[in-house]
Chain A
Amino acid sequence: MIIKFLKNNFALIASFLASLILSGIIILLLGENPFRIFGIFISSAFGSWNNIAYTLFFATPLIFTGLSVAVCFRCGLFNIGAEGQLYMGAFACAYVGFTFADFPGYLLIPLSILFSIGAGGFIGLIPGYLKAKTGAHEVIVTIMLNFIAIGFTGYFVSGPFKNPGDLIPQTQLISESAHIPKIGELFGILGIKSSIPLNFSFIIAVFICLLVYFIFKYTTFGYEIKAVGLNKKAASASGINVNRIIILTFVLGGAIAGLVGVNEVMGYRYRFLDGFSAGYGYLGIAVALLGRNHPAGVFISAVIFGAVMRGGLLVDVYSDKISKDFVYIIQGILILFVVSGELWNKFRIQIDAEKQR
């Protein structure tokens, strides 16, 4: 069982180890002890329940964006637009939160969540529609749409919806009835401090993982997504409306990315802040890639990336030679290794040949 797992995921594991070694060498070059640094990474990410909570907090947006990319990948579509989708989702969420401030929580919370989903889905609809109707390549359209969506939200918070009196572009605070609880408040037993920003949206993220798994495995829609992703011609010949599936998949992907807004706005900052995303949308591509587009894989790789982000913060504190931007280096190296499929194939063939001798 374990051997089979290792064999099936050879490229991933090899990439992981190679990235670890290369990062270690860079740490050494920077004049630090790699073992000490990796030690800080691991202990600060997983050392205690509180640390794990921090890691999961960083993982939450990555679960959403990773799933968003993975859903589209399954359909043979490349969603680089999660970044724009999540900005729109977050803004819509905040908008509802401060506009309908006198709504009670049981109304406002679902409404806010619905708006993040809707706004993200709408931004996802555009590349899907354009792909289906004109064949416009979704990669270029989503890259451009990111800047357009971020431009719009940037305009909103520096213009009409800017919180008066603030120096930085951000909206006013959302109504308290739209706040979702922190995990520390929900599960007191684990002793997680309620100051740790991990919140209910993590549970939503886990739920969406399960939902995506369910869609993939148990619905005709999931079946049709897979068919279109693997072979458009055969799918079409079998009676599947390929264009409809492309559009719906992109909307679903956008909607999931929009949920990042729930974590950011309803669970963490309680307002929309311009430029809040640390490239979550782009990292989602790496998360999906590393997670092999499987919901469980996405969850695990989001946690790994979250741990790297969490560890990076503490490394920044405990080492004067390595700043928190080191996280980007680890992520970049990992992406490049994972995507070099043929490199590992060559390795594998060589190993197999050695064995047969």
Chain B
Amino acid sequence: MELFDIGILTSTIRLSTPLILCAIGGLYSERGGVVNIALEGLLLFGAFSAAVVAYYTGNPWLGLLAGAVTGVFIAFLHGLVSITFLGDQIVSGMGINILALGVPAVFSGAFFNTPSSTPSIEKILPSLNIPVIEDIPLLGEILSGYTVPVYLSYAAVIITYFVLFYTIFGLRLRAVGENPKAAESLGVNVIRYKYYGVLLSGLLAGIGGAFLSVGHGTQFIKNMSAGRGYIALAALIFGKWHPFKTLLACLIFGFADALQMRLQGVIGIPVQFIQMIPYILTILVIVGFIGKAVPPAASGVPYRKG
């Protein structure tokens, strides 16, 4: 088997999709000053609800929608606890992650009598071929033929860049994450913008989760996110909370993941070491060895009005 071929590029793109959706989601939340380590849980909730709805309706699109809606709802819980009730954002995120280990398993046990997975879905999201591009040799193979969430993730990056730096919403969201007091003194509703950021993170991470169960796979499997929410968090930090840099980080980490799958048992480098790459890079960047990652100034601090 060849180590580097087109296959590894296409699987890089597939494997980085949930990372991109999750990390861009996290970007909204953290730019608004709310640390979101609940991404892992949001992925699982999204994946589970998408699989369940797709199974019962036979429609993967409804599954995708269900994943998005569930993501928003769970993110709302995170917002409620950490914004309205001023709870610690890390602990709240941890609580949601633990909840995400239980809810899917218990409910799939109750629905299907199989706690560790949901039944296979007959129809998953279709792959889309892009006209013209699909006919170009090589490039067509790399760029075309993915499911909708894959294209959506790249659209999300571009839209996010635009929204963040060119719209009122983006300006205010960033202001709220940097200095809520200053924003408040100019009449910006801090609490509302914090909620917007958190809910958007739920929306995107929920879609990312749905991709795992009804786009990439055909069912929900217990703990199928396998730490991708945390890798997305790492990518967000490594990308210094900037949409394009975050995208690049996600692609690097997605590539590491693809490589690791390819290398399984093939050559001397242990897969665990390749899996560690995202985490080691993130520590280096947080310490300041590779540039310096400085989070939004007010992130992690509960905002008490007045």
Interface residues of A (CB under 8 A from B): 30-31, 78, 80, 130, 134, 136-137, 139-141, 143-145, 147-148, 151-152, 154-155, 158-159, 279, 282-283, 285-286, 289, 320-323, 325-333, 335-336, 339-343
Contact = CB atoms under 8 A, between A and B. Distances in A.
Contacts of B234: 144
A112 B140 CA distance: 58
Nearest to B108: A323
Interface string B244-263: 00000000000000000000
A285 B227 contact: no
A164 to B, nearest CB: 16
Contact of B273 (A151, A327, A336): A151
B286 A331 contact: no
B279 A145 contact: yes
Contacts of A333: 95, 99
Nearest to A332: B99
Contact of A339 (B91, B113, B115, B295): B91
A333 B97 CA distance: 11
A37 to B, nearest CB: 12
Interface residues of B, number: 49
Contacts, number: 151
A143 B230 contact: yes
A52 B280 CA distance: 42
A339 B92 contact: yes
Q: Which of A151, A158, A343 has the largest number of chain B CB atoms within 10 A?
A: A151
A332 B98 contact: yes
22 contacts: A80-B90, A136-B283, A137-B295, A151-B273, A151-B279, A154-B272, A155-B272, A155-B273, A279-B98, A285-B94, A322-B109, A323-B115, A327-B102, A328-B102, A329-B106, A332-B98, A332-B100, A333-B99, A336-B77, A336-B81, A340-B87, A342-B85
Interface residues of B: mostly helix, strand, loop or mixed?
helix
A322 B88 contact: no
A325 B280 contact: no
Contacts of A286: 91, 94-95, 98
Interface in B229-277: 230, 233-234, 237, 270, 272-273, 275-276
B86 A342 contact: yes
Given A145-B283, A329-B106, A139 B90 contact: yes
Contacts of B106: 30, 322-323, 325-326, 329
Given A137-B286, A332-B99, A31 B272 contact: no
Contacts of B230: 143, 147
B103 interface: yes
Contacts of A158: 270, 272
A335 B295 CA distance: 26
Contacts of A78: 90
Contacts of A130: 283, 286-287
Nearest to B110: A30
B44 to A, nearest CB: 11
A339 B286 contact: no
A148 B92 contact: no
Given A339-B92, A341-B86, A148 B280 contact: yes
Instruction: Enumerate the 5 nearest inter-chain pairs by beta-carbon distance, A residue then B residue, closest first.
Output: A328-B102, A332-B99, A335-B95, A325-B105, A340-B85
A329 B275 contact: no
A145 B286 CA distance: 12
A147 B102 contact: no
A205 B21 CA distance: 43
Interface string B130-161: 00000000000000000000000000000000
Contacts of B84: 342
A148 B85 contact: no
B283 A328 contact: no
B101 interface: yes
Nearest to B103: A329
B219 interface: no
A341 B101 CA distance: 24
A152 B35 CA distance: 28
B279 A335 contact: no
A161 B101 CA distance: 30
B164 interface: no
